[in-house]
Chains A and B, each alone.
Chain A
């Protein structure tokens, strides 16, 4: 009976429900139940959506026709916040809490490069949702919702924002679509039983919330310092499974919800002057700029 329920729970990933059911069966000796409880606790799948973006050190140029920024021949990389999400998942696995890490990215074939990076950093397998469309966050969240339904992760770790669109939306939207609670802008993540405690970076300082699992967590910069992938791990990552699924096969309406009308460079600041002394600086601020 116990084994049967355990196998069923593993197959369905519905640990909480099965565990609660077990608690009602009073015939199971307490010591066995405790062992069982521990087993349920450690079986946790983590889903990490990642995005391929322009490298954070690159200064972008706007196209002369103002249609968008120019991304031809520009260095691309894994979004820094996504890298932190991968690192956190790997740390949860190293701590014996997470059992499997699945990385997922939405984009054309080129985003497989970033998925391989995630695999080299410690993800177990990867899924590329193939599309060459530039998707609004709501459509990204809908595709991820399908992945969540399929994979049934206990925790979804995302970056808080992508450094290209600067939207800061996807994690929260995925929370709404899946009904999962969210811990956004996380600087500390602690899994405790069937809950996760998330310390969040908020405007006035820090705030801690407790979320029922399964839950969504979006990472802030101070959550951790991502490791570098070692060469052996990069080699190993080439053999890890990477599934490709066409975005069109999910049966979701992915038509755009916004139109990008134009992109312009920001107003250039006038070149300033170098002053020679603090006296001169104070004089200029008082009499020329009139700001003090």
Chain B
């Protein structure tokens, strides 16, 4: 049976994590189709057609799908589902929003946030904030799956899939988009950055987060935060790394003034190299850090910036 991958996009371009979800589909094996549901989304569809291993891109271009409201998109995917054995989407806030709805409409279970494919019906996923790794077999005819981006490497963009326009238009009429407040940043996307520097409660206030700017600029890093820093109002919530925030696995993760609670570690402990800067030598973060320095961050950060 074929595999349907739901593209994540902002209508103008494809989100890079979609290429990682296509990689997960390739690991399952089969003919891969990508669905781009949006409004005026031809550019995103053209991006999707370049993903290696994809044979067909289905484009549902309709105002009802502009903001990918779960009520509308789930009905569209359910209509198409009959032809597919697997339906995959990113485990992003968008995918997490509509996919369980699709699963319930199809009367199947969903396997959330897989990090590996064992076989066409068996998948690996973290549970208990990443403190245990479960291998789960799906018994349903249609496998509805969300994919954790850090578990897979993006496929190449040298493909040339056929683009097919769909005429479907399903508006459940029960919800509407009111507005969005998106964080604008010059820095790389937190989920995709190869270096991440994060601040925690030890930063003391939002102003002090600027101490991370210079270092982030020099390393081309994204800036993250612990829940404590977000809850204290130092920074916006979309910077949160952890079980309930973003899951990152960069080459280098620098944790500054972060104690290392279970919930934070869940979001970053698959990073290749972890550096901890903390003045408390007993902080749990040092148990996972490759390199730790016990120092006051207000001394260490300016020195680090000057020496990079």
State in angstroms the CA–CA spacing of A60 and B133 once bound together.
11
Given known A138-B103, A263-B132, A271-B287, contact A166–B138 (CB-CB < 8 A):
no
Interface residues of A in 247-276 (CB under 8 A from B): 256-266, 269-276
Inter-subunit contact B180/A206 (CB<8 Å): yes
Given known A169-B103, A176-B101, A258-B139, contact A289–B178 (CB-CB < 8 A):
no
| A69 located at the interface, meaning its Cβ lies under 8 Å from any Cβ of chain B in the complex | yes
Inter-subunit contact A166/B126 (CB<8 Å): yes
State in angstroms the CA–CA spacing of A198 and B93 once bound together.
15
Inter-subunit contact B273/A273 (CB<8 Å): no
Inter-subunit contact B262/A209 (CB<8 Å): no
**Which residues of chain A are near B131, meaning CB under 8 Å?**
59-60, 69, 265-266
B250 closest partner in A (C-beta)? A291
| B246 located at the interface, meaning its Cβ lies under 8 Å from any Cβ of chain A in the complex | yes
CB 8 Å contact bits of B271-290 with A (1 = contact, 0 = none)? 01111000001000011111
Inter-subunit contact B127/A263 (CB<8 Å): yes
Inter-subunit contact B104/A173 (CB<8 Å): yes
| B82 located at the interface, meaning its Cβ lies under 8 Å from any Cβ of chain A in the complex | no
Inter-subunit contact B129/A282 (CB<8 Å): no
| B26 located at the interface, meaning its Cβ lies under 8 Å from any Cβ of chain A in the complex | no
In whole Å, how far is A165's beta carbon from the nearest beta carbon of chain B? Answer: 6
State in angstroms the CA–CA spacing of A189 and B175 once bound together.
14
| B217 located at the interface, meaning its Cβ lies under 8 Å from any Cβ of chain A in the complex | no
Inter-subunit contact A69/B132 (CB<8 Å): yes
Inter-subunit contact A203/B127 (CB<8 Å): no
State in angstroms the CA–CA spacing of A98 and B166 once bound together.
43
Inter-subunit contact B182/A173 (CB<8 Å): no
A187 closest partner in B (C-beta)? B237
In whole Å, how far is A219's beta carbon from the nearest beta carbon of chain B? Answer: 11
Interface residues of A in 163-213 (CB under 8 A from B): 163-177, 179-185, 187, 197, 200-212
State in angstroms the CA–CA spacing of A266 and B97 once bound together.
27
Inter-subunit contact A205/B181 (CB<8 Å): yes
Inter-subunit contact A274/B293 (CB<8 Å): yes
CB 8 Å contact bits of B241-275 with A (1 = contact, 0 = none)? 00110100001100000000011000001001111
Interface residues of B in 83-129 (CB under 8 A from A): 92-94, 96-105, 107-113, 122, 126-129
Stretch at the interface among B44-52, B200-208, B299-307: B299-307
Question: A175's contact among B70, B92, B127, B179, by CB below 8 Å, is which?
Answer: B70
Inter-subunit contact B112/A169 (CB<8 Å): yes
State in angstroms the CA–CA spacing of A231 and B260 once bound together.
33
In whole Å, how far is B88's beta carbon from the nearest beta carbon of chain A? Answer: 15
| B2 located at the interface, meaning its Cβ lies under 8 Å from any Cβ of chain A in the complex | no
Given known A166-B129, A222-B237, contact A261–B135 (CB-CB < 8 A):
yes
In whole Å, how far is B85's beta carbon from the nearest beta carbon of chain A? Answer: 15
State in angstroms the CA–CA spacing of A96 and B178 once bound together.
25
| B69 located at the interface, meaning its Cβ lies under 8 Å from any Cβ of chain A in the complex | yes
**Which residues of chain A are near B294, meaning CB under 8 Å?**
274
Given known A163-B129, A257-B138, A264-B133, contact A168–B219 (CB-CB < 8 A):
no
Given known A258-B139, A262-B135, contact A138–B109 (CB-CB < 8 A):
yes
Interface residues of B in 29-76 (CB under 8 A from A): 67, 69-71, 74
Q: How many residues of B contact A (CB 8 A)?
A: 89
Inter-subunit contact A265/B127 (CB<8 Å): no
| A9 located at the interface, meaning its Cβ lies under 8 Å from any Cβ of chain B in the complex | no
Inter-subunit contact B112/A168 (CB<8 Å): yes
| B159 located at the interface, meaning its Cβ lies under 8 Å from any Cβ of chain A in the complex | no
| B157 located at the interface, meaning its Cβ lies under 8 Å from any Cβ of chain A in the complex | no
Given known A169-B100, A202-B93, contact A261–B263 (CB-CB < 8 A):
no
CB 8 Å contact bits of A70-92 with B (1 = contact, 0 = none)? 00000000000000000000000
| A25 located at the interface, meaning its Cβ lies under 8 Å from any Cβ of chain B in the complex | no
| A235 located at the interface, meaning its Cβ lies under 8 Å from any Cβ of chain B in the complex | no
Inter-subunit contact A209/B293 (CB<8 Å): no
A256 closest partner in B (C-beta)? B139
Given known A69-B132, A258-B138, contact A209–B177 (CB-CB < 8 A):
yes
In whole Å, how far is A241's beta carbon from the nearest beta carbon of chain B? Answer: 30
| B174 located at the interface, meaning its Cβ lies under 8 Å from any Cβ of chain A in the complex | yes
Instruction: Give the interface centre of A160, A182, A220 by most chain B CB atoms within 10 Å.
Output: A182
Given known A180-B174, A211-B175, A274-B294, contact A292–B195 (CB-CB < 8 A):
yes
**Which residues of chain A are near B69, meaning CB under 8 Å?**
209
**Which residues of chain B are near A41, meaning CB under 8 Å?**
none
In whole Å, how far is B147's beta carbon from the nearest beta carbon of chain A? Answer: 14
In whole Å, how far is A56's beta carbon from the nearest beta carbon of chain B? Answer: 7
Inter-subunit contact A273/B291 (CB<8 Å): yes
The 8 A-B pairs with the shortest beta carbon distances in the complex, nearest first, are A172-B100, A176-B104, A257-B109, A173-B104, A169-B100, A181-B174, A181-B175, A272-B290
Give 7 A-B pairs besides A59-B262, A172-B101, A174-B104 with Cβ atoms closer than 8 angstroms. A137-B110, A179-B172, A181-B175, A203-B93, A204-B182, A209-B177, A274-B291
Show 13 A/B contacts (Cβ-Cβ < 8 Å), sorted by A.
Answer: A166-B112, A167-B110, A173-B110, A175-B70, A175-B71, A176-B102, A181-B175, A201-B237, A212-B174, A222-B231, A222-B237, A265-B133, A278-B304
Using a CB–CB distance below 8 Å, which chain B residues touch chain A?
Answer: 67, 69-71, 74, 92-94, 96-105, 107-113, 122, 126-140, 172, 174-183, 191, 195, 219, 227, 230-231, 236-238, 243-244, 246, 251-252, 262-263, 269, 272-275, 281, 286-295, 300, 303-304, 307-308
